[in-house]
């Protein structure tokens, strides 16, 4: 009995590992998809004129009552970096937000509206691919949980295993394509986007890292599932050969 129970326990362990990786991938992908920290950076803008009695480092005050004339504006652009302020911003698939000068809070805009018209089609493809990625991951999770909880026979388990492996691999490919398309669109928006949005410095944020971590977990789940399927098939073949061998021995030396 022992030799047959060990592979069963091993199969259960592999199924649980694949489900855990796939579930992590699903949580990471939903978190990344709904957040706006795929890219973070700063925008360099000229400091505004101080209004009324307001003072501070984030606005420019002139002694002259005619502080708003063209000479004053020219003065801002000619005196160097101390007359500029850096505003932090962060952007995701859905919207881009930047901090406000002399006010608390952020001002957010739709990222789709900032994208150049020629690249909006690619962005929408990226969004559709991300949604399909999440849906396929969800289907893969359901199949893996069914395999763990409702395990009627090895053959049924193999069928579910094969289908969940295909779904998970397809999800991983879609996720990879979606992340790469968004990266391309963001870089094009940095170069060709509106002047009042273009960043001075930028880098990828935690959401971007989480999206790729989700992809890595998804592919690890797919590899574990395929490995489990292959191992079970090889096990079946080995048992079949042993059975055939025992039948041959019985045929040659029948018991009297």
Residue 180 — φ and ψ, nearest 5°?
-65, -40
pLDDT of residue 138: 95
pLDDT of residue 82: 60
Question: Interhelix angle for 206-252 vs 2-34, to 10°?
Answer: 160
* Each residue's pLDDT tens digit, 69-96: 555 544 444 455 466 777 888 898 998 8
The structural domains of the chain, with segments of one domain joined by +, span: 19-35+116-244
pLDDT of residue 31: 93
Please tell me the CATH code under which domain 19-35+116-244 is placed.
1.20.140
pLDDT of residue 125: 94
| Alpha carbons 69 and 135: distance in angstroms, whole number | 58
pLDDT of residue 59: 63
pLDDT of residue 69: 52
* Each residue's pLDDT tens digit, 54-71: 555 566 655 545 545 555
pLDDT of residue 87: 81
Contact 91, 36 (CB under 8 A): yes
pLDDT of residue 43: 81
193 dihedral zone (left: phi>0; alpha: psi -120 to 50; beta) = beta
Which stretches in the chain have pLDDT values below 70? 1-11, 46-83, 102, 151-154, 156-157, 234-256
């Amino acid at each position: 009995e022992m030799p047959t129970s060990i592979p069963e326990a091993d199969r259960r362990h592999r199924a649980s590992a694949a489900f855990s990786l796939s579930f992590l991938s699903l949580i990471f992908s939903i978190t990344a998809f709904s957040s706006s920290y795929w890219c973070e950076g700063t925008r360099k803008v000229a400091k505004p004129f101080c209004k009324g009695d307001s003072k501070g480092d984030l606005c420019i005050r002139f002694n002259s009552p005619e502080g708003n004339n063209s000479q004053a504006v020219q003065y801002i652009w000619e005196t160097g970096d101390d007359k500029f302020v850096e505003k932090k911003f962060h952007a995701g698939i859905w919207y881009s937000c930047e901090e406000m000068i002399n006010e608390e809070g952020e001002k957010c805009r739709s990222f789709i509206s900032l994208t150049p018209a020629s690249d909006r089609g690619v962005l929408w493809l990226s969004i559709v691919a991300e949604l399909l990625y999440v849906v396929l991951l969800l289907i893969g999770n359901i199949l893996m949980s069914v395999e763990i909880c409702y395990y009627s026979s090895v053959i049924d388990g193999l069928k579910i295993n094969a289908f969940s492996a295909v779904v998970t691999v397809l999800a991983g490919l879609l996720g990879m394509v979606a992340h790469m398309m968004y990266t391309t669109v963001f870089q094009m928006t940095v170069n060709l986007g509106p002047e009042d949005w273009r960043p001075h410095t930028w880098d990828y944020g935690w959401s971007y890292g989480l999206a790729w971590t989700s992809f890595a977990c998804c592919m690890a789940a797919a590899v574990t599932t395929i490995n489990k399927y292959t191992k079970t098939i090889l096990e079946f073949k080995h048992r079949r050969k042993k059975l055939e061998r025992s039948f041959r021995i019985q045929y040659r030396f029948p018991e009297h």
